[in-house]
């Protein structure tokens, strides 16, 4: 009996053309944006020569500096709190025998992923507007809380995936050797879980850093983050400065992915 030929998707008719078209749709707009970030002209559509002018102007812009620092503070705080909460939730939902209601907890934790972001933003706006009236406080705490609530499921997924792939016999062995639950977690579970925690933190950080919808609804006056500042600039006047800021965002994302890859490779 003749063996069936091995199926190779790369040899199918049209595969190369479809792949090239897909890559063009994904990366050509990004390449165009990056190219025009180095445009010396005042226009975003007319090439005026190669220059770092708009990167320099963006770095000297006080509004951009304030928005960038505010974005970093919010993203770092929200990602940290979300990662801690996600780690505790992942441990509580994986290091336990299955029971009725566990699936509901999964859905509840991941609810921000399933509900449209605009719905979450409106709900947070209603809640925080009442709290602002009661307390008189209108600082960055609301943005940090809102971003934290939205980022928890993004941090939860890689941490839970890492926990499920870990060998729980090591933790049981630590308990057999009279390690307390906290000591077993600190000396066994946490080191093995660290790549998942780093992945969850980076994902939550990036999601918080570039969020627009929730920030637009929750922020008070003078609390623009870098994405909302860029949105405001686009509404008023489009200049290559926006391209330069977007290119810096892209470079930061690539850097985070590279760092995570290097850390995971060393761990392996």
* pLDDT one-digit tens code per residue, 67-94: 889 999 999 999 999 999 999 988 888 8
For residue 70, what pLDDT is reported?
A: 92
For residue 83, what pLDDT is reported?
A: 94
In the chain, domain spans: 62-267
Please state the φ and ψ torsions of residue 119, each to the nearest 5 degrees. -65, -45
CA distance 157 to 28: 30
CB atoms within 10 A of CB 24: 11
Q: Half-sphere exposure of 69 toward its Cβ, with a 13 Å CA cutoff?
A: 6
Q: pTM for this structure?
A: 0.82
Q: Half-sphere exposure of 148 toward its Cβ, with a 13 Å CA cutoff?
A: 18
For residue 5, what pLDDT is reported?
A: 62
For residue 266, what pLDDT is reported?
A: 55
CA distance 185 to 129: 40
**Residue carrying structure tokens 């008189």:** 136
For residue 210, what pLDDT is reported?
A: 85
**Residue carrying structure tokens 């947070």:** 124
CA distance 65 to 202: 22
Contact 257, 91 (CB under 8 A): no
For residue 116, what pLDDT is reported?
A: 86
Reported in sequence order, the residue ranges of 24-154 that DSSP labels E, i.e. its strands, are: none
Mean pLDDT by runs of 10 across the 268 residues of the chain is 62 81 89 87 80 87 89 93 92 80 79 84 90 86 91 90 79 75 80 86 89 89 86 79 86 80 62
For residue 184 the two structure tokens come to 């077993």
Q: Which helix H or strand E contains 186, and what residues bound it?
A: none
What CATH class has 62-267? Answer: mainly alpha
| pLDDT tens digit sequence for 204-249 | 998 898 888 999 999 888 888 988 888 888 877 777 888 888 888 8
């Amino acid at each position: 009996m003749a063996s069936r030929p091995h199926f190779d998707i790369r040899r199918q008719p049209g595969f190369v053309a479809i792949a090239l078209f897909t890559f063009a749709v994904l990366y050509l707009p990004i390449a165009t944006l990056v190219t025009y970030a180095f445009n010396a002209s005042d226009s975003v559509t007319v090439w005026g020569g190669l220059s770092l002018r708009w990167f320099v102007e963006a770095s000297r812009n006080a509004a951009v500096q304030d928005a960038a620092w505010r974005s970093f503070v919010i993203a770092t705080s929200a990602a940290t709190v979300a990662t801690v909460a996600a780690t505790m939730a992942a441990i509580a939902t994986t290091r336990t025998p299955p029971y009725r209601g566990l699936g509901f907890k999964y859905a509840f934790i991941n609810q921000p992923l399933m509900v449209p972001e605009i719905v979450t933003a409106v709900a947070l706006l209603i809640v925080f507007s009442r709290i602002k009236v009661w307390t008189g406080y209108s600082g960055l705490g609301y943005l940090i809380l809102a971003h934290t609530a939205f980022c928890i499921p993004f941090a939860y997924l890689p941490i839970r995936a890492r926990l499920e792939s870990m060998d729980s016999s090591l933790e049981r062995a630590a308990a057999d050797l009279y390690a307390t639950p906290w000591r077993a977690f600190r000396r066994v579970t946490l080191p093995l879980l660290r790549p998942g925690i780093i992945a969850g933190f980076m994902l939550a950080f990036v999601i918080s850093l570039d969020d627009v919808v929730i920030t637009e609804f929750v922020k008070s006056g003078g609390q623009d983050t870098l994405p909302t500042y860029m949105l405001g600039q686009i509404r008023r006047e489009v200049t290559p400065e926006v391209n330069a800021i977007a290119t810096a965002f892209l470079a930061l994302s690539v850097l985070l992915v590279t760092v995570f890859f290097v850390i995971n490779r060393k761990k392996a």
